[in-house]
Amino acid sequence: MASLYVFVAVLCAASLTNAASLPGSNPCTWGPSYWCKSVSQAEECNSVDFCVEKQWRNSTAGLLGGDKCTQGPAYWCSGEDTISECGAEEYCARVATAAPTSTATEPLGQNKCTWGPAYWC
């Protein structure tokens, strides 16, 4: 039984001396989420060029709503410039031809079917 304690003690001592070589113990192996968090971390991991090229240059692209073309058809089809910017020519043309045309004879809100679920239910 004593030999088991000695073995465990030796194993623990060996693992403590090699703790720096354990996978993940070096934060620079954690990837761009660590490297590009700050300039000092990018310098520490020798990844400044990568962060400038891949992460920081288009920093708004990764943010929710940063790419306006992800905001949907209301944005895509709002004007000629946004239609071409988002590559939505085909979609906006299809929607424009499928959309019902409004008649000027009926005032807005006159038709009760357009009042929505609060009225219908």
Note the pLDDT of residue 17. 54
Name which residue leads in pLDDT, 51 or 16: 51
pTM summary value: 0.34
Kindly report, residue by residue over 10-44, the tens digit of the pLDDT: 555 555 555 557 888 898 888 888 888 888 888 89
What mean pLDDT is predicted for residues 65-88?
Answer: 81
- Helix residue ranges per DSSP H, the chain: 2-17, 32-35, 39-44, 48-50, 73-76, 80-85, 89-98, 117-120
**Residues 8 and 2: beta-carbon distance below 8 Å:** no
